[in-house]
Amino acid sequence: MASVIDRIKRFMSSPQGRQARARAERLARDPRTQAKVRGLLARLRGGRRH
């Protein structure tokens, strides 16, 4: 049985994996997504309260 890492590598080299990576990169550059992530991290770290 293939290890999890091998399966991930195989997926990332497939057309679907390349599309998923491109979408993730596009979302990572989006300022709105960055703000959401910063807010989530602040809550997890016990930052600002709502």
Note the pLDDT tens digit of each residue in 7-23: 999 999 999 999 999 99
Reported as a pLDDT band with limits 50, 70 and 90, residue 24 is very high
Supply the angle between the helices 4-12 and 15-29 in degrees, to the nearest 10: 80
Confidence (pTM): 0.62
Greater confidence (22 vs 49) lies with 22
Percent with pLDDT over 90 in the chain? 86
Residue 27 structure tokens: 């979302």
